[in-house]
Structure 1
């Protein structure tokens, strides 16, 4: 807006009106030229209306401009008023520039909001936000999927499907969390409080940790089987080795000792039975070792490449 031109326009009109009134008084009272004075009087009236219209038009434009901003009506604009002079043309141009700046700022804000909303809707963690009255402010796709809902407007509507969960969410303190089971899913729920413009909002995050729990459970079982395998191997290996040694002793040394002793209590048949028993124990222990090794290979999960 060109304030110098506006003030100049006001000054010219005020001076012209003042001069017209002075001339009117002079002609009417001093010269008693009533006809000339009447003409000057009409001119003064015209200048008065012109001054009023000039100022009022500026006020109307300023009022419209402020209303456009108040109601975010940035699509409207101001036409060029060439009839009212250069100052009004520049005033309209300035108003239009400001409205265009607001329009671009709002467009960028909306684009940024759309971008953030897209990100929120595509994250894997469920997000649910509601105010003190329970009105839903945010509900993303992941939350709907975890809670098996389509769309709700108030947190109380969730009680129809998950009454216990709804009660716990409403009573949760900021920073606390708990586990909730939903249709064979383990969902970790955490609460956070946000304050915006003096109002309090509760933000609930929901994360499906079923896969993590299954992975931890699998790792626990693998660790347990590893320990069991280790203990079984530690117990079986010495037995197998000891049985092999005893069999060698029976085969190489015991028959000669029996002939020397000539005992009737220990016969060759008894020795054969003992050797067969040792052989069976050895065979079973070897088979058990193979089973443990095979189970180790079966339960071993290679690291992903």
Structure 2
């Protein structure tokens, strides 16, 4: 009995010792301490196998840990070298990660909490405080050295059961400058083309009329003017008047583009708006061969817009669609109104007409650019300006003779 009792006590001590070693092993793994080794040169076979297995498990976990560290360092280096600012923050406003580009854009280092942005700009702090997933914002930062136009985009992530907001920032000032310069070049090219087309005949005819009444810098006598000269002079003056009128109309259209009034917004039913627009369309422009399809979802969709201005945009776009469908026996215009995945309201007009060729699709919103013989080139540029005044945009996608789609995004 004494021997049995002694054996039981020793067995319990052995089991407790083994359990403590295993518990110590897991505690070391938890603390990322992989230096622990179990002796494999023991006499008990089962204990020897257990120690060997624990050592192998320890090495495997250490290998995975090192790989994860290397991968994390690799991704962090990529984020540091990225040309866009990236940071993540939780609901309490703590910034969990911010790459160097973000710190450079915001001119603050290190970034730990969005309250630090209050020291840069109060508006910037308020903007970040109210930032929601899928928001897109444009903010301007100015200091004594430079001016930045920063585009912000946000999305949500779930990390360790915690909602995280990922914010991406990019300085688009340079791109805007390049775009603005390109737009001015295109506009000047169109303006000079239109003005030269109008002024050249005026100059030519004026020179011809002067020659009727002047020879070698000497004005001819009244008795030398015959009836034919008078008739030609009158015809020339009529052409000059007509060309001058065209030039005045051109300048007037330019003035209307620059003096677009601020939208007088009100809540408008999308269904009533589209019904009204289709009713206002000139019946002569419609054709029985062209079918219309209108989809509104939800049916009670409402828009906060200037009804008159948006009607003007819709009529202009639908007219363009009708013109592109001339000669098409299976013409189809589809009008869709709804809310997209980013919770933005939209109206889309698509057709299966001749469309827009890829080489001019970037030009169609340039004021006075037109491919029509009697077009002014002001319609689409004016429409885009109206959408900008509404805080939205007008986009186009075109595959000639398949589908052309204009998207009014509010």
More strand by percentage: 2
Q: Given the alignment of the two structures, is residue 108 of structure 1 paired with residue 71 of structure 2, yes or no?
A: no
Q: Larger relative contact order (C-alpha < 8 A, sep ≥ 6)?
A: 1
Q: Given the alignment of the two structures, is residue 98 of structure 1 paired with residue 61 of structure 2, yes or no?
A: no
Aligned residues: 220
Higher Rg of the two aligned structures? 1
Q: Given the alignment of the two structures, is residue 87 of structure 1 paired with residue 50 of structure 2, yes or no?
A: no
Q: Given the alignment of the two structures, is residue 146 of structure 1 paired with residue 105 of structure 2, yes or no?
A: yes
3-state SS in 2 of match to 1:56: helix
**Closer, same or farther: CA 262–170 of 1 in aligned 2, 3 Å:** closer
* Residue 245 (structure 1) shift: 3.0
3-state SS in 1 of match to 2:153: strand
3-state SS in 1 of match to 2:36: coil
Which residue in 1 is equivalent to 2:19?
A: 59
Which residue in 2 is equivalent to 1:159?
A: 118
Alignment of 1:1-305 (within 5 A): 21=1, 41=2, 43-44=3-4, 46-82=6-42, 84-183=43-142, 184-246=147-209, 249=212, 261=223
Is the 1:191–1:202 Cα contact (8 Å) retained in structure 2?
yes
**Closer, same or farther: CA 44–178 of 1 in aligned 2, 3 Å:** closer
* Residue 158 (structure 1) shift: 1.7
- What whole-Å deviation, never above 9, does each CA across 1:252-277 have from its counterpart, x for those lacking one? 8xx9x959x479xxxxxxxxxxxxxx
* Residue 71 (structure 1) shift: 2.7
**Closer, same or farther: CA 197–240 of 1 in aligned 2, 3 Å:** same
* Residue 129 (structure 1) shift: 1.6
- What whole-Å deviation, never above 9, does each CA across 1:130-169 have from its counterpart, x for those lacking one? 1122211011111111111121222112211222101111
Is the 1:75–1:103 Cα contact (8 Å) retained in structure 2?
no
- What whole-Å deviation, never above 9, does each CA across 1:18-42 have from its counterpart, x for those lacking one? xxx5xxxxxxxxxxxxxxxxxxx4x
Which residue in 1 is equivalent to 2:328?
A: none
Q: Cα RMSD over matched residues?
A: 2.8
Q: Distance in 2 between matches of 1:146 and 1:77?
A: 49
Which residue in 2 is equivalent to 1:300?
A: none
- What whole-Å deviation, never above 9, does each CA across 1:202-258 have from its counterpart, x for those lacking one? 222211111121122112211221122112211332133224434554578xx9x95
Which residue in 2 is equivalent to 1:30?
A: none
Is the 2:114–2:128 Cα contact (8 Å) retained in structure 1?
no
Is the 1:81–1:88 Cα contact (8 Å) retained in structure 2?
no
TM-score (norm. length: structure 1): 0.64
Which residue in 2 is equivalent to 1:34?
A: none
Structure 2 residues without counterparts, runs of 5 or longer: 226-410
**Closer, same or farther: CA 237–76 of 1 in aligned 2, 3 Å:** same
Which residue in 1 is equivalent to 2:247?
A: none
* Residue 50 (structure 1) shift: 4.1
Is the 1:131–1:202 Cα contact (8 Å) retained in structure 2?
yes
Q: Distance in 1 between matches of 2:67 and 2:224?
A: 110
Q: Distance in 2 between matches of 1:178 and 1:79?
A: 62
3-state SS in 2 of match to 1:59: helix
More helix by percentage: 1
Q: Distance in 2 between matches of 1:80 and 1:262?
A: 130
3-state SS in 1 of match to 2:29: helix
Q: Distance in 2 between matches of 1:48 and 1:77?
A: 28
